[in-house]
Amino acid sequence: MPEKSQKDAERSEALEMNPWHQAMEQLDRAGSKMNMEPFVLERLRHCKRILTVSVPVKMDDGSISVFEGYRIQHNLDRGPAKGGIRYHPQVSLDEVKALSFWMTMKCAVVNLPYGGAKGGVICDPKKMSIGEIERLTRRYTSEISILLGPDRDIPAPDVNTNEQIMAWIMDTYSMTVGYSCPGVVTGKPIEAGGSLGRKEATGRGVFYVTRELSNIRGFDLRKAPVAIQGFGNVGANAAKIFAEHGCKVVGISDVGGGLYDAKGLDIDDIMAYRQTHESIAKYPRAEHVPVEHFVEVPCEVLIPAAMENTITHENASKVKAKFVIEGANGPTTNRADRVLEERGVLVIPDILANAGGVTVSYFEWVQDIQAYFWSEKDINARLQDIIVRAFREVYEVAQRERVDMRLAAFMVGLNRLAKAVRIRGTFP
């Protein structure tokens, strides 16, 4: 390849893998389809607040390591900032910016009274002890506490963060203000003011979306083989819930490797295996699939529930599924979207498909503020209501405007958000 075109190819590859660039392309696409006023788009091209913090942590060997962390509030026009916190070696400013933008859009699509935010710390929690993770969490919380508060900014779990970490965030914040403040963070353990059903909520929302899709499209979900990439909170709970509803989960993977069985995997058995093993990669009762080829396994429904950019223009042509349901945030690049669309693969976008998590976070926050807790049955029924309503609204726009589901979801979200931006006006 000549040097110039080689450079161009590298550049477009880098942009394809940059989540903020991807997110802004998605915004522009919706903006131009809707003839949106430039000032609304311009507002959304900037994050409202970006806080970078250094997080010094006393390690177990007595040394001090300094980690870099972020908390970004993308937009607050529809309510307080909401969004998770992730711990991962690949966290970057552009990634957290994109994730905070997607939270703004997600909350608007399902119509929760929130703006979008996200936080992240560049670290590898797999190489840290529990004590080190606790000290990192408490110091990071203290550093970003200038932004936090139950009516200001409410974090939640994301990649590599869990209920225990949320409890430390709640405790650290409460120690600072001098009283117990459960409403400052969601995804907490029940004992610390958490909500029933929150842990399973993202996976459950993914299931509700897929079931509604099968109703509208008229296919039998119990006969459609499902493959799930990722075995974290989203992937593992999705696998469990699909299996509980009689669906055939034929593939599942984690960072170490993938598993496949055309007859359907025994999810309970894999869950039990995972309790005593670091990864499911060596689970003995299934075929093994290399992680880098997992999205190519034979299935009808593919649920990427791991990280960004797992479906790219390079492997999109090898995806066998008819439906891609995005459990993760940003798993499909924009170039991959185009390839999938040309091939007739329907993608249900992240900002709709994985909105179950933030929806039950909203329920948790409402319960905390009212100090009145609901039954799990109630929570799941309300979750289903919200997710199905949002799905139908987006599907209807996609049909009417003859656009893909990602663009339709952006149009629904952007329309709602723009109304708030216009009506609130520009200060001063």
Measure the N-to-C terminal CA separation of the chain; round to a whole number of Å: 54
Position 230 contacts ligand GLU (CB under 6 A): no
- Per-residue string for binding with ligand GLU, 304-343, x by CB under 6 A? -------------------------x--------------
- Per-residue string for binding with ligand GLU, 183-222, x by CB under 6 A? ---x------------------------------------
Supply angle C-alpha 352, 356, 359, rounded to 5.
105
Position 112 contacts ligand GLU (CB under 6 A): no
CB of 41 to ligand GLU, least distance (A): 23
Name the residue type at position 159: V
* Distance between CA atoms of residues 282 and 264, nearest Å: 17
Of 118, 188, 240, 248, which one is the catalytic site residue? 118
136: left (phi over 0), alpha (psi -120 to 50) or beta: alpha
Position 76 contacts ligand GLU (CB under 6 A): no
**Beta carbons of 204 and 227 less than 8 angstroms apart:** no
Residue 263 known to be catalytic: no
Supply angle C-alpha 266, 380, 107, rounded to 5.
105
Question: What letter would DSSP give residue 361?
Answer: H
Question: Residue with the closest Cβ to ligand GLU?
Answer: 84
Q: For the chain, what's the residue count?
A: 428
Stretch that binds ligand GLU, among 79-87, 242-250, 333-341, 366-374 (CB under 6 A): 79-87
Query: Residue 167 or residue 289: which is nearer to ligand GLU going by CB?
Result: 167
Query: Residue 172 or residue 354: which is nearer to ligand GLU going by CB?
Result: 354
CB of 303 to ligand GLU, least distance (A): 15
What are φ and ψ of residue 322, in 5° steps? -90, -25
Position 182 contacts ligand GLU (CB under 6 A): no
Position 83 contacts ligand GLU (CB under 6 A): yes
Footprint (CB under 6 A) of ligand GLU, residues 262-301: none
CB of 267 to ligand GLU, least distance (A): 22
* Residue from 195, 237, 361, 380 in contact with ligand GLU (CB under 6 A): 361
* Distance between CA atoms of residues 312 and 310, nearest Å: 6
* Distance between CA atoms of residues 67 and 70, nearest Å: 10
Strands 49-58 and 64-75: antiparallel
Report the candidate in 335, 402, 385, 350 with the shortest Cα–Cα distance to residue 17: 335
The residues that touch ligand GLU, with contacts defined as CB under 6 A, are 82-84, 156, 158, 186, 329, 354, 357-358, 361
Residues annotated catalytic, as ranges: 118
